[in-house]
Structure 1
């Protein structure tokens, strides 16, 4: 098993390679069946600000407004005491702002900055640059016996808007919101059609449907909300009717680390490790990635 954690400054992604979907189901089932007093007490609120800072200040204009500088351009007003004690040179230094930081960036630049910070731990390292291009270090690749990747992503608010239409009965912009992708390694290339491919897809679909219901039930049992996307309809399985859908080849999967290839006659999703030999599905929950039920996913 290879487990990959991305944390800046806390865990934003938990990625585990496991032998099967049943191993993930067993983990959630075991956790939810533990005695209530043996589990760490948890409240469904935003993480402690001393441990979690989001948006990250490194993202500049995306961070929350500093009350000391409420005016446009991060400009504040000196009170009388500060103005008296500060000399002209120090006041000039205090009021000087780097135009690169203070000038508003374009929406595309802000979006790219969030995605880059979301999927990487440190953009200055060679390892993280390779990760963004779809490559993974040798010690983080799955073993031959691993046939499933479980990746839990802490979804930042700028990406939550893309999934809000799927759950019209919930306010996805408030509180924790986690996307869990389950990628099953396939024997056949899913970019081609044959009776063998169709039979394998049906088998993996059946496995996912039963496993996803177990996982959602386990999360609900300990007080969280959870729902999964039915791969056949692209709709939330438990939620109310919505015109929005999320199929396996939806462009939104790009923001979760996958590639969508247009083959002309159809589209296919490509996994960073297994390529088109994968069956990808997902579920959503308000259990944050740093909660024990997600952060402690290990091979049984």
Structure 2
């Protein structure tokens, strides 16, 4: 990724939302509880099921995000959107079928996430997603830290975490370990974010 020589990221918002007040948030706040939607990969035209929720980051969480997105202003107003794509296989296992599904879900999440972020950026807000494989931002300049999807989701949603040797396995309350996690971030308001996400929903009968 090319390093910008400017002191201002091109993805710093033109306008800011009112996600936070002057009072610092000592705890992250859930603005929308886990919600399941049907959406579609516009490249492959395959539908997939996704759960997302919206959270206003606490001041401590926001400070940690600053090391992931160092050039982003208004990071204290950042909304965090943990997502889980429902899978057929238990992704903790190994094998060709599991590897193929991981690749498919990565493509599904990145395609969906880029669409959401582009719509929000078109409205003048900063928005980004992190690569689930590397933890680095897709659009913004990299910082010294990566974003851990699993640990972030556990902190925001209090989902169970199972320790299996050197691995930490998140257990989704509905889907167990048959999930693929990813995360979006934006300084847009939760109302605008929900509106943009609603535009990606497809019905069961829609192809």
- TM normalised by structure 2 equals 0.71
Distance (Å, rounded) in 1 between the aligned partners of 2:36 and 2:184: 23
Flag the structure with higher strand content.
Answer: 2
**2:164 maps to what in 1?**
263
Please tell me whether residue 221 in structure 1 is matched to residue 193 in structure 2: no
Give the structure 2 partner of residue 104 of structure 1. Answer: none
Q: Give 2:83's match in structure 1, choosing from 173, 176, 182.
A: 182
RMSD: 3.2
Tell me the secondary structure at the aligned position of residue 145 of structure 2: coil
Q: Which residue of 1 aligns with 2:175?
A: 274
Is 1:253 the equivalent of 2:153? Answer: yes
CA shift digits 1:214-263 (9 cap, x unpaired): 221111111111111011211011111322112343x2332221333210
Mapped pair 1:163 → 2:65: yes
1:180–1:282 CA contact under 8 A, matched in 2:
yes
The alpha carbon displacement at 1:169 in A equals 0.7
Higher Cα Rg, which structure: 1
Partner of 2:10: none
**1:207 equivalent in alignment to 2:108:** yes
1:242 aligns to what SS in structure 2? coil
Q: Encode CA deviations 1:132-156: one digit per residue, 9 max, x unaligned.
A: xxxx9xxx8889x982112121223
| Cα drift, residue 277 of structure 1 | 1.0
Q: 1:236 to 1:297 in 2, by over 3 A?
A: closer
Instruction: Work out whether residues 151 and 180 of structure 1, in 8 Å CA contact, stay in contact via their aligned partners in 2.
Output: yes
Partner of 1:232: 133
Match of 1:148 in 2: 50
CA shift digits 1:170-218 (9 cap, x unpaired): 23444x3111122100001122222211110011111112222222111
Instruction: Judge conservation of contact 2:68–2:146 (CA < 8 Å) in 1.
Output: yes
Deviations 1:41-79 (A, max 9, x none): xx62426xxxx8675xxxxxx78xxxxxxxxxxxxxxxx
Superposition TM-score, scaled by structure 1 size: 0.51
How many equivalent pairs are there?
A: 177
Structure 1 residues 246 and 147, CA, compared in 2 at 3 Å: closer, same or farther? same
Q: Partner of 1:261: helix, strand, or coil?
A: strand
Alpha-carbon deviation of 1:266? 1.9
Q: In structure 2, do the counterparts of structure 1 residues 292 and 253 end up closer, same or farther at CA, with 3 Å as the change threshold?
A: closer
Which ranges of structure 1 fall in alignment gaps of 5 or more residues? 1-42, 56-61, 64-110, 122-130
TM superposition shift of 1:160: 1.1
Higher helix residue share? 1
